[in-house]
């Protein structure tokens, strides 16, 4: 009988059986026929195979190095997640004292200092060391700093290591999304994927249930990354709609600034709901124009992340908006904040891109530019309004008045 106990324990664990049912099963196992014994033996072998498979998979994981570029809040949270899943993770940081604290004290001294990092997280300031033998490279450097980061380190990126980008936004100088920038700046890299969705780094460190989406043209890669990142509290969906995920991730940060302004001005929940809904319309309009799928926009990277950042108190973009709404200047907000709020620069880039889209503005004369600019602003009043507030051309109050003064029109 004792030989069956481990089998039954496995069965019990898997099916959440109570003690009473376990006893019944033990009695049953004692009285089984030879044929039945054969099946129990088979179950025993299966569980042994499962254990061996699990051990092999853990061994394989422990040989699959991941490099995380950027030791900020999100880089740290991703490193923590992947290391807890059994992967050795090396974070590429910029400061030697940050590297030393991570390697010796097992803490990131700048972000989430109360968390002890697993032993399989290390840090380096040497890009060659971090990247050379990595099997997956996670990019968690803010968008506007990404170009200089890649230009400095492109030679160390192994051609066969896929790059998973987590940065959300649009580059101001080129008006390009990360999915356009990465292939251009890393010409040797064969495959890219993009992670987005409602995922505050802080809540990932706290191991609170979180769901994200990984988009890639390479479906197998998205599935492989989903498998590597999945855990009991981290759910990963996949998508092939890279542009949809990228546009949504960039636009939602600007809508979050608008939502913060609404909060800072104390305009109440009716206006907040209206603003976020209309913000989602602008996101949808822009993303569909660029070839995105409507499914993406109603998914985690679309409305999912928009809800999180518009209503979640941890959002840095929302907090920039709240402080603007309360009357602080942008300079004072940015100079007192250590962390990136991508929506600030992305608002500028999105408006630039929309003006270009509205008919090659650069080729028109000034009168036509104004016509096109007015047309674009009427289609995207929240994006243009946030940009004007950030530039200091209008006050938050004037921004709200301009939205309320828009003529009645069909909801679309
Ligand atoms: N924090 C969050 O909850 C989430 C952040 N993201 C995205 O991840 C990206 C990174 O954000 P966070 O880590 O939160 O920002 P952060 O402000 O916490 O950290 C940024 C990190 O990038 C590093 N960095 C800046 N310039 C660099 C350069 N030229 N070379 C190398 N490293 C450089 C900084 O040293 C810092 O460690 C952003 O695009 C953000 O939108 C995405 C999902 C969630
Ligand atoms: O993108 C995020 C969560 O999904 C983080 O948003 P913030 O950058 O506004 O904090």
Q: What is the 3-state secondary structure (H, E, C) of the chain?
A: CHHHHHHHHHHHHHHCCCHHHHHHHHHHHHCCCHHHHHHHHHHHHHHHHHHHHHHHHHHHHHCCCEEEECCCHHHHHHHHHHHHCCCCEEEECCCHHHHHHHHHHCCCCCCCCCCCCCCCEEEECCHHHHHCCCCEEEECCCHHHHHHHHHHHHHHCCCCCCEEECCCCECCCCCCEHHHHHHHHCCCCCCEEEEECCCCHHHHHCCCCEEEEEECCCHHHHHHHHHHHCECCEEEEEECCHHHHHHHHHHHHHHHHHHHHHHHCCCHHHHHHHHHHHHHHHHHHHHHHCCCCHHHHCCHHHHHHHHHHHHCCCCHHHHHHHHHHCCCCHHHHHHCCCCCCHHHHHHHHHHHHHHHHCCCHHHCCHHHHHHHHHHHHHHCHHHHHHHHHHHCCCCHHHHHHHHHCCCCCCCC
pLDDT of residue 360: 60
User: Does residue 308's CB lie within 6 angstroms of at least one atom of ligand 1?
Assistant: no
pLDDT of residue 27: 38
User: Does residue 194's CB lie within 6 angstroms of at least one atom of ligand 1?
Assistant: no
- The alpha carbon of 199 and the centre of ligand 2 are apart by a number of angstroms equal to 7
pLDDT of residue 25: 38
Residues 6+ apart with CB under 8 A from 212: 195, 196, 197, 198, 199, 229, 234, 235, 236, 237, 300
CA pair distance 160, 133, nearest whole angstrom: 10
Half-sphere exposure of 226 (CA within 13 A, CB side): 17
* Token representation of residue 82: 């992947």
* Token representation of residue 203: 């809540």
Ligand number nearest CA of 73 is 1
User: Does residue 98's CB lie within 6 angstroms of at least one atom of ligand 2?
Assistant: no
User: Does residue 260's CB lie within 6 angstroms of at least one atom of ligand 1?
Assistant: no
- The alpha carbon of 63 and the centre of ligand 1 are apart by a number of angstroms equal to 27
Contact criterion met (CB below 8 Å) for 253 and 382: no
Taking the whole predicted model, whether its pTM rises above 0.90 is answered as no
- The alpha carbon of 315 and the centre of ligand 2 are apart by a number of angstroms equal to 5
CA pair distance 197, 301, nearest whole angstrom: 4
Tens of pLDDT, residue by residue, the chain (412 residues): 333 333 333 333 333 334 444 334 333 333 334 334 444 445 566 777 777 777 767 779 999 999 999 999 999 999 999 999 999 999 999 999 999 999 999 999 999 999 999 999 999 999 999 999 999 999 999 999 999 999 999 999 999 999 999 999 999 999 999 999 999 999 999 999 999 999 999 999 999 999 999 999 999 999 999 999 999 999 999 999 999 999 999 999 999 999 999 999 999 999 999 999 999 999 999 999 999 999 999 999 999 999 999 999 999 999 999 999 999 999 999 999 989 999 999 999 999 999 988 766 555 556 666 777 888 999 999 999 999 999 999 999 999 999 999 999 999 8
* Token representation of residue 254: 């600007």
User: Does residue 315's CB lie within 6 angstroms of at least one atom of ligand 2?
Assistant: yes
pLDDT of residue 289: 96
Catalytic hit among 110, 168, 176, 252: 252
Indicate whether this complex's ipTM tops 0.90.
Answer: yes
pLDDT of residue 387: 97
- Give the position, in ligand 1's atom list, of the atom nearest the Cα of 202: 3
pLDDT of residue 50: 78
Q: Is 326 a catalytic residue?
A: no
pLDDT of residue 364: 53
User: Does residue 142's CB lie within 6 angstroms of at least one atom of ligand 2?
Assistant: no
- The alpha carbon of 269 and the centre of ligand 1 are apart by a number of angstroms equal to 31
């Amino acid at each position: 009988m004792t030989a069956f106990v481990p089998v039954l324990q496995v069965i019990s664990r898997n099916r959440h059986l109570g003690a009473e049912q376990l006893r019944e099963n033990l009695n049953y196992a004692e009285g089984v026929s030879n044929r039945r014994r054969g099946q129990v033996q088979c179950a025993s072998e299966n569980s042994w195979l499962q254990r061996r498979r699990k051990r092999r998979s853990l061994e394989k994981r422990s040989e699959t190095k991941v490099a995380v570029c950027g030791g900020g809040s999100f880089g740290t949270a991703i490193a923590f997640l992947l290391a807890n899943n059994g992967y050795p993770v090396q974070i590429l940081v910029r400061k030697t004292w940050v590297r030393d604290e991570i390697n010796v004290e097992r803490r990131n001294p700048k972000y989430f200092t109360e968390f002890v990092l697993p032993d399989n997280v290390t840090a380096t300031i040497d890009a060659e060391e971090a990247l050379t033998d990595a099997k997956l490279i996670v990019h968690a450097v803010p968008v506007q700093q990404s170009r200089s980061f890649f230009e400095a380190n492109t030679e160390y990126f192994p051609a066969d290591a896929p790059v998973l980008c987590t940065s959300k936004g649009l580059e101001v100088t080129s008006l390009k999304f990360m999915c356009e920038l990465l292939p251009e700046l890393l010409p040797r890299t064969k495959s890219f994927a993009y992670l987005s969705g409602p995922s505050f780094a802080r809540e990932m460190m706290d191991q609170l249930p979180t769901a994200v989406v990984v988009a890639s043209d390479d479906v197998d890669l998205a599935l492989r990354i989903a498998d590597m990142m999945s855990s009991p509290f981290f759910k990963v969906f996949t998508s092939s709609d890279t542009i949809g995920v990228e546009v949504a991730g960039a636009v939602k940060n600007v809508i979050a600034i608008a939502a913060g302004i609404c909060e800072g001005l104390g305009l109440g929940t009716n206006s907040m709901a209206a603003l976020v809904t209309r913000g989602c319309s602008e996101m949808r309009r822009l993303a569909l124009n660029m070839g995105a799928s409507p499914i993406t926009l109603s998914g985690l990277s679309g409305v999912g992340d928009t809800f999180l950042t518009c209503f979640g108190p941890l959002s840095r973009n929302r907090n920039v908006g709240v402080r603007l709404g309360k009357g602080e200047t942008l300079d004072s907000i940015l100079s007192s904040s250590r962390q990136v709020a991508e929506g600030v620069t992305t608002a500028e880039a999105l408006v630039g891109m929309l003006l270009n889209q509205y008919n090659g503005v650069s080729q028109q004369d000034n009168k036509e530019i104004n016509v096109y600019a007015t047309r674009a602003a009427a289609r995207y009043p929240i994006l243009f309004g946030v940009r004007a507030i950030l530039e200091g051309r209008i006050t938050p109050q004037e921004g709200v008045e301009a939205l309320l003064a828009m003529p009645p029109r069909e909801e679309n």
